[in-house]
Each structure stands twice: as structure tokens, then as C-alpha cells.
A and B are shown apart, each in its own frame.
Chain A
Amino acid sequence: MDIAGINLVTLIASLMVAAVPILLAAIGELVVEKSGVLNLGVEGMMIMGAIGGFMVAVATGSPLMGFIGGAIGGAVLSLFFAVLTLGFLANQVATGLALTMFGLGLSSLMGQGYNGVKPPPTGALFGPLGDIPVIGPILLGHDWMVYFSILIVAVVWWVLRYTRTGLIIRAVGESHDAAHALGYNVARIRLLCIMFGGAMAGLGGAYVSLVRVPQWVDGITAGAGWIALAIVVFASWKPWRVLLGAYLFGGITVLQLRLQAAGSSIPVEYLSMAPYLITILVLVIMSSGRSKAALNAPAALGQNFHASR
């Protein structure tokens, strides 16, 4: 099953790995946006997770502790966003940008001295079962984070669709005034959603620095946070479509890397801009046309809530 010198099985197996960071960040951001908050600081939270996770993993020697550290790193940074937009009613777009700039700076400050350090390896979950031909590499050969990221999508889908918690989150995102009138604490619900989004972005970032790369480099997330934001639009705020979108982009990323390695006739520079160009293309397709993905956007997205009474 080789196409243009690229093995299809390894391609699928590696796109599942490549998709994990954007998948986690996007599913977190989906919950945040469902609660009516637009946090553009995903890139900043991801990179804080990347350095936080890396530092903890190197210090403890345990990848699991590293991922927990990454989630905490992202969540802590998202607290800044929550305080500013919920407490000080600051503009969400501007605050998100500030979060990204601050996160990029702080991570590079914290990461000094970690260049060239190797993090502890994260092994495959099912060990030798991954050696079974075809289904092994695709279904059984991954580390636990790959399965965990799919599980999270399922949980988010279930919670948003079938539970009371999900209904409240959606109510707050559709009409914060109505939710407030019903007696729900809009600020508290949004705070929890923002922190969940931060933790997921941090987890995604930690996956970049602990598994994908695996080392620490300044600006390691390289726009993955922004692609995650685009995937939420692509998915028209539906959890399973986030999975589809993330795998699609994971596929493009892996494919262009493979083509580069295979010595394709297309210049390297043009291949490496492909994920960004395709993101734009997908955004255009999703936001135009009759399907009107935009109509599915939470009605109160990006608006701050201030209880006048």
C-alpha cells in the first residue's frame, strides 16, 4: 500500500499522533466557546503547557507527571484570561492576544537551560500488540495520550449533549442574560470552562514537547494553537467534527513532512506552508455556502457579561 513512496499504514498511524496536540487544544476551546467565551490565547496556553510539562517530566522522570504539569501550566495561564475578561470585563480578542504574547515570552524565559535536554520517553500502551500488521500500528501501537484524546472527545460530546452540565454550559453560551435570570452563576460557569480549555491546551502543548518533537525549543508549538482555533470553526462547534478536522490537519502535516523527506519535486518551503494555506481554504469553505456553519456559533460568543441588576 505505497503511494508515491509513502506507506499508507504508517501515514495513518503517524497522523493520529500528529493530530493529538491540535485535537486536545481544539476540544478544550470548543467547550470554552460553547460557554460563549472566545479565548484566542490557545497558542500561549499550549506553549505554557509545553514548557510546564517538559520541566515537570524532566524533574520527576515521569511522563505522566509531565502531562499533569502541562495541563496545570495551561490552566494557570488561562486563569489570567478568566480574571481579565470575567473580572475586569476586558475585550476578549485583545486579552487572548495578550495571553499568547505573554505565554510565548514566559515560556522562552522558563525554558532557558532546557535546550538539548531529553525528556523521559512515553511508551506504547499495548506494547508488542502494535507489531500486528496493518491494524497494529493504526489501532494498537500508540501511546496512551492518543487514546485519551479520543476519549476526551467522546466525553465532551456526551456531556454537552446529554447532561445537565452540558445544557447549562450551552445556555450560558447562547444567552448569558437568560442563564443569569434563571439563577446560574455565569461567571463561575465560564471560569470553569476557560480553565478546562486551558488544561486541554496545556496537555496538547505537553504532547508536542514530550512526544512529538521531543525536546524544548523556543516557539515549539509553531501556530498549532491557531490551527486549533480554526478547527473549532471548521467543526461548526461539534465535538466529533473536531476529531475529523484534527485528523485531517494531522494528515496534511504528516504528508507534507513525508513528501519533504521523500525528496519531492515540490520545494520544501511550499510544502511547509501547506497546512496554513489549507486551514485558510477550509475556513473559507466552512464560512461560506449554504450550510452556514456560522449559524451554529454560540449566540453570545465573544460578548462579556455584566449583570446590571
Chain B
Amino acid sequence: MLRLEKRPIPSRFWLYATPVVAVILTMIFGGLLFAAMGVNPFAVIKTIFWDPLFGEFAFYLRGQLLVKAGPLILIAIGLSLGFRAGIWNIGAEGQYIMGAIFGAAVGLAFYPTENRLIFPLMVIAGAFGGWVWAMIPAILKTRFNTNEILVSLMLVYVAQTILAKASTGFLKNPEGMGFPGSRNFSSFPAAANPELIAGSGLHWGGVTAVLVALAAWVLLSRHIIGFQIRLTGQAPRAARFAGVAPKRLVVLCMGLSGALAGLAGLFEVTGPAGQISIDFNVGYGFTAIIVAFLGRLNPIGIVLAGILMALTYVGGEMASTNLGLPSAAIQVFQGMLLFFLLAVDVFTNYRVRFGRVEVA
């Protein structure tokens, strides 16, 4: 008989091995799924994980990787801080949308003024938009003890209706011949977020993601707040005795994750997406939850996980155009990855023992 025995201390080996094993298991079972759908699994796995990096069109696709990884990393870093402390902000998608709307609204208010200060102002407005949207569940939680999971998620649906209103109403391009969507930022240089090096795919979002990852690493490993976050997650009672104010931590973690998601939204809407439109958001806020776990809630891990998840997006698109793989299959693939990750994680804290349980 198999049984689990709690380890005295978490296994360092499994801490690092878990994501790798989970990815391999996902490739195997994902491959079986693709085979069941009548697509050659080896071709799909190669298209997703190999071609964007080293294939024929890698020169272009590598840039696309940065485009997708940037927002995923930014959002996931913010989420990971809260997740570590047991604060579950799962409404990052809504904060991402609100950041984009706030930032874009500020930029469009200045149209067609050309001034160097417009873009920095938009960045601040974007972060503010996400922060405000995350403050709603944070304050309701600290003030009324309301469940932050449900509130932050409900606000995603609210943000989506506001986005619909923005793209057909208050942010609609007055010269857009009646089509929904805002002005395109590519024709408004002061507010645009173009590639910093042509063809690299790197825009300000990618740069910010790397800086934020470094800052988060310093915060978690060198700063008292990082210590409080880790302590609260591992031993809430001990944290209270150590003088951690749980409410302040909720406001801080939710606020940071909201602001980062808002930033990601702003960089996306002014760069790769180009305009506010009813469906510019593609679910990065939800995928970032997988990224945060895949990166083991560790900033450096999240950077790697973000790039891996970007591979599944970029490669998935390739597989869908070249091999006719439905895009929903990639969504299943990503969901599977989170399943295996959570399952394999048991080995970090438990070891498997064979033999009967002895009655003491």
C-alpha cells in the first residue's frame, strides 16, 4: 500500500524538479490528447516548444515570445506576492483591463499633443487604474471581511462591460467611421509603446517586467515586508505574534498586484494591441495564475515560467495555422500543466512510503 509521510523540511530537489516533471507530464498527456484529435503529437510538441526558439521563423517568433511573456511575468509577479501570503487576487484580468482603460483615457485626452511627458503620465494612470480596481476587494476584505476571491472575480465581469462601453462609447475613435475601438496608438507617437529595438519584440512592458522581477526578488529575500509576506503564508499565527498587521499586508499585496496588472494592460494596449477594443484582452490575467504557480511563486522562476507559457501561446498559434490544431486545445494544454504542477508538488512536502500503516 502506498501512503504519504510528511517531510520534516520541504525537499529542495523536488522544489526545483516539480515544474520540470509537470511540463514533461503535460507534454506526454497533451500529446495523447492531440493524437486523439487526429493531429501528429510529435509535430505539435515540436511546433510549440522548438520552432518558436530555433525553427525557420524563429527570428520573428522570438520577438513574439517577449511580447507575450512581458505581461504574463508582470501580472504573475504581483499575484505571487499575495499567493505567498494566502491572499488570493484572481481578478487580475479585470485590473489589467482597467489599467488599460485608465492609461489609454489619459493618453487620448491629450490627443494630438506631442509631449514627452504624456507616456510616463499614462504609465502612472495605468498602474493607478489597476490599483483602484484591486483596492475594491482589498478594502472590502479588510473592512467587511468579504471574500477577496469572489469579489475580485466578479469585478472581472464588471471590467469587461466597462471595456465594452469604452470601445463603443466614451473612448471610441471619433474618426473611426463608426467602427468600435479607440484611436490607434501607433498613429499617436507621444502615447505609443513601440518596439525599443526593431524586430526584437521588446517594448517598455518587457523592460518593466525584468525590473519588477529583480525588485520582487530583493523585496522577498532582503526586505522586512518580504519576510512578513513569507511568514504570513507559512504560519499566520506566528506572523501575528511577530507583529505583522494582516490588513496592511492585504492592502499592500492586492495593491501591488493590481498596479502591476494595470501596467501590463497599459503596455499591451499602447503597444502590441494598439487600441482599446472590445476583445483586446486575451486572458493574460488568468494565465498569469498558472505562470505564478509554475514559477513556484519565485520571481526568477516566474520569469522562466512566463517565457515557457509564452511559448505555448506563440507555438500554439503556429500549430493552429500550420497543423489545424484548435486554439482551445492550447487552453486545455495550459490547464493540464497547472493540474500536473499541483499534483507533483505533493513530493515537495511529502515522501511516498510503501507498506502497511502500522497501528501505534
A binds B: yes
Residues of A within 8 A of B (CB): 40, 80, 83-84, 88-91, 93-95, 97-98, 101-106, 108-109, 112, 218, 222-223, 226, 229-230, 233, 267, 269-270, 272-273, 276-277, 279-280, 283-284, 287-288, 294, 306, 308-309
Chain B residues numbered 44-79 whose CB sits less than 8 Å from any CB in chain A: none
Say yes or no: A88 contacts B158, CB within 8 Å: no
Task: Report B312 CB to chain A, min CB distance, Å.
Answer: 12
Within 8 A of A (CB), among B16-40: none
Task: List, in ascending order, chain B residues with CB within 8 A of A98's CB.
Answer: 290, 335, 338-339, 342
Closest beta carbon of chain A to B92's beta carbon, Å:
12
Contact call A306/B6, Cβ cutoff below 8 A: yes
Contact A102 B342 (CB under 8 A): no
Contact check, B339 vs A80: say whether CB atoms are below 8 A apart.
Answer: yes
Chain A residues with CB under 8 A of B155: 276, 280
Chain B nearest Cβ from A171, distance in angstroms: 22
Please encode chain B, from 75 to 89, with 1 for each CB lying within 8 Å of some chain A CB and 0 for all others.
000000000000010
Contacts A88-B342, A89-B350, A284-B140; A109 near B154 (Cβ below 8 A): no
Residues of B within 8 A of A103 (CB): 335
Q: How far is the CA of A222 from the CA of B153 in the complex (A)?
A: 12
- Select one of A84, A88, A272, A287 contacting B144, CB under 8 A: A287
Which residue of the partner chain B has the closest CB to A38?
B149
Select from chain B the residue with minimum beta-carbon distance to A223: B157
Binds A, one of B160-168, B194-202, B215-223, B265-273: B160-168
Q: Is B132 an interface residue (CB 8 A)?
A: no
What is the distance, in angstroms, from B118's C-beta to the closest C-beta of chain A?
Answer: 28
The answer to whether B261 has its CB under 8 Å from any CB of chain A is no
Bound-state CA distance A263–B334 (Å) is: 42
Contacts of B9 in A (CB 8 A): none
Query: Could you jot down 29 A-B contacts, CB within 8 Å?
Result: A40-B149, A83-B343, A89-B349, A95-B342, A97-B338, A101-B334, A102-B335, A103-B335, A106-B335, A109-B326, A109-B332, A218-B328, A223-B153, A223-B154, A233-B147, A233-B150, A269-B164, A273-B158, A276-B154, A276-B155, A276-B157, A279-B150, A280-B140, A280-B146, A280-B154, A284-B140, A284-B144, A287-B145, A308-B6
Q: Which residues on B are within 8 Å of A, measured CB to CB?
A: 4, 6, 88, 90, 136, 140, 143-147, 149-151, 153-155, 157-158, 161-162, 164-165, 169, 286, 289-290, 293, 326, 328-336, 338-339, 342-343, 345-346, 349-350, 360
Task: Give CA–CA (A222, B154) in the complex, Å.
Answer: 11
Residues of B within 8 A of A280 (CB): 136, 140, 146, 150-151, 154-155
Q: In the complex, what's the smallest C-beta–C-beta distance from B330 to chain A, in angstroms?
A: 8
Of A89, A94, A218, which one neighbours B346 at CB under 8 angstroms?
A89
Nearest-neighbour CB distance to chain B for A37, whole angstroms, equals 15
Beyond A98-B290, A105-B328, A269-B169, 19 additional pairs, beta carbon < 8 A: A40-B149, A93-B149, A97-B90, A97-B338, A101-B290, A102-B332, A102-B336, A105-B333, A105-B334, A222-B157, A223-B157, A267-B165, A269-B161, A269-B165, A270-B161, A270-B165, A273-B162, A287-B144, A306-B350
Q: Verify B140–A109 contact, CB threshold 8 A.
A: no
When chains A and B are docked, how far (Å) is the Cα of A93 from the Cα of B329? 24
Query: Which of chain B's residues has its CB closest to A98's CB?
Result: B338
Contacts of A95 in B (CB 8 A): 339, 342
Is B154 in contact with A101, judged by CB distance below 8 angstroms?
Answer: no
Determine how close the nearest CB of chain B comes to the CB of A96; give it in whole angstroms. Answer: 9
- Cα–Cα, bound, A218→B350 (Å): 39
**Is the beta-carbon distance between B161 and A273 smaller than 8 angstroms?**
yes
Residues of B within 8 A of A270 (CB): 161, 165
How far apart sit A95 and B330, CA to CA, in the bound complex (Å)?
A: 19
Q: What 3 pairs between A and B have smallest CB-CB spacing?
A: A105-B331, A102-B335, A288-B144
**Contact assessment for A97 and B154 in the assembled complex, using a CB-CB cutoff below 8 Å:** no
From B154, B286, B328, B331, give the contact of A230 (CB < 8 A): B154
